[in-house]
Structure 1
Amino acid sequence: MDLEQYIAFRGRKEEQYTSLPSVTWKKKTAKAEIEELFSESQEDFLSPSSTGNLPAAVAVAEGSTSENVPPRRKRLEPADRHKRFEELYQKLLPHLNSDVKERRKLRPIRYTVWTHLVDLAQNEEELQRVVDLAPKWKDVHRSVKDKGGLEKQWGELIVRQAESLGCPQVALEMFSNHAKYQIPLSLPAARHLLHSLHQTNPLQDVMTAVALYGVYNLKPVSNDLVSLGLVCRALSNQIYPLQKPPAPKSEPVNSSSAVEESAGEASSESTQKRNRNLKPTKQVFEALIQSLQSLLSSTNPESYTLSSHARTRNLTPEFAVRQKNAGKGLAAREKEKTWLKWCLERIEKNLKMTEGEGKVEWLRQWRHAAGHVKSQSATTVASTA
């Protein structure tokens, strides 16, 4: 059995992509900000000429300097966030009216309202409410050139917010029904979706996310190192679950040998049943490990070396610098490298338990070359210091 047997459906590719806009930074009251989203001006409608990867709330023009970059806004209290969410949500609803004449009576709406709604969502229910409006919005804009926007950057925002709120299934369900939601899935969003699912969600959810690579005509998981690492780790977690620490010893309890023998037989039977159930998973895991070894052999490990400031802001203290790096996708790239580092570490640890250290030397050598593993000499010096 191979990975293809887990995937039963294919889809079509979404062709048109647009970007999220930049915004003019000013101090505004909450009411003024909401009113601005429903105004006559259409300058910040989503368009290909708009800013690339960042949502409108944080987008910065390419030529920004520290003088024209605003200070960070104070985060709203939960009650205020909910109030603003409801105000925006209710103002958006009339624009979903299927009656064109009724919609023409309304003030034009900026597409950035969708970005703000996602950002303001504080729980799964609110995020789901926003996602559920997308099909209606797409439907009333089906005759418009850009089909109402809500393209790949908005999809990426949904994935990030769903993970932060602990409800990745909201994003998974949205992308799993392309015919209904029509939100394109980008490769960064697909990787992020896998990351949000691979540790805590059922393996079936992970394999559903893998299937989406074919639906949206993305490169196969077996050809994308970050995605492959995440899937291998998810399979590894299923096959080699983390062992719970032994319970503290209690006072000895008298028990008959018959009871102990019965418990041992039950445990053995349970283990055999689990191994039978895991057989297909192990077959897929073994096939993907071969793909991983092949892909690593043709990948320069230095391209996955973490930058020195990957885990700290101290080396890039200027807000404008961090925003510029984020705009170029550098921050997301460093995050993906970190995911790969921890995935490969866990995979190596699990393989070593069953295959022996010699069988995973190929993985350790690549990780060492990528800077993911400290050299033996450095480790020795640290331990003797």
Structure 2
Amino acid sequence: MTEISASHQVLLERYRASHIGVFGLPGLVLARGDGAYVWDVDGNRYLDLLGGIAVNALGHGHPELVGAISKQAAELVHVSNFFTTPAQIEAAEAVLRIAQAPQGSGVFFCNSGSEAVETAIKLSRRTGRTGIVAVGGAFHGRTTGAVSLTHKEAYRAPFEPLLPGVLHVAPGDVEALRAAVGPDTAMVLLEPIQGEAGVVAPPVGYLAAAREITRDAGALLVLDEIQTGIGRTGAWFAHQLEGVVPDAITIAKGLGGGVPIGGLVTFGPEVTGLLTAGQHGSTFGGNPLACSAALAVLATIESEGLLEHAVAAGDFLVDRVEALAHPLVTGVRGAGLLRAITLAQPIAPAVARLARSHGFIVNPVAADALRLAPPLVITTDQLATFVDALPAILDEAVKESA
């Protein structure tokens, strides 16, 4: 079991003294990474089963990503959007290709998922309508517009009044969605799998029903693929698993492999044309460094067969966890390498803390669920080390809570 040193504690106290406390006190000070592993400043190694919350798609220190960033940094880091660069053009073309977007589609690059959602809000306002429908359990970001669409009361209440005209409906309920969408609805915003809610997927057919409902009402269907995109579920984007074509998607997280980049992808010329010159912008969005990182991530996912690997590794994880037949494990949900192990008792925070002391990083996304979103390059052997250690960790957590 790993322990942190006095000097490690000093660094954490320096963090506390120098930062606005929105994140609380971090659990560790990390110093380096390699593949699916990270090391803290004491030299303790951890299997990173969270991947920076689905960001580190290629893990840590992948040579293709390091090489692309290094090369671009030596040539050109930033030029402003008065100009463009080959990297920005090629990255947009690559994103449109993997999104299977039709002719006349477009990409707006920004720096984060929240910014992508803000862009989607502005896109929806250009329809001439103002109503937005989101879903209970949704998480779309922390900026003022994005948090207006996020459902968790604790995130919203300190900053009210928020964006008007937002309606949250019960998750997975087609009839509730149908009743909420009307002539004033500009956009329905949905996550194909709700990450922060605990890796919860809607019933099969829900996205297709949402497509039908929005099309009939003349509203936009925008899918939040920030956490589920870039191969995380075994497809480039989770909505592709159901064959649904939205009006737009928001992307970020895994796209840059750790370099901040986000974007809004519009499908077709009618939607793309809603935003015109001068109506939106970003100083850093689409900079050549971030776009070069994105190109390296996308090319490596393809060349290393990581879409297929995400499916196989995710299935392996499910099979091995279920084979434990541990009384505290009630199931595994999600898709690909976005998974939650559900627990029979609300001990996930204790399990995550104890897992870290055993050398594993997991996320207690809910009181009774552990979220796993490891690098797409993680091996089944590495996953097996966690599954093999899980029963003892669970038993230890139960003893603590007794």
* TM bracket (short chain): under 0.3
Which structure would you say has the larger RCO, counting Cα contacts within 8 Å and 6 or more residues apart? Answer: 2
Q: Which has the higher helix share?
A: 1
TM-score (norm 1): 0.24
Q: Which has the higher strand share?
A: 2
Larger radius of gyration: 1
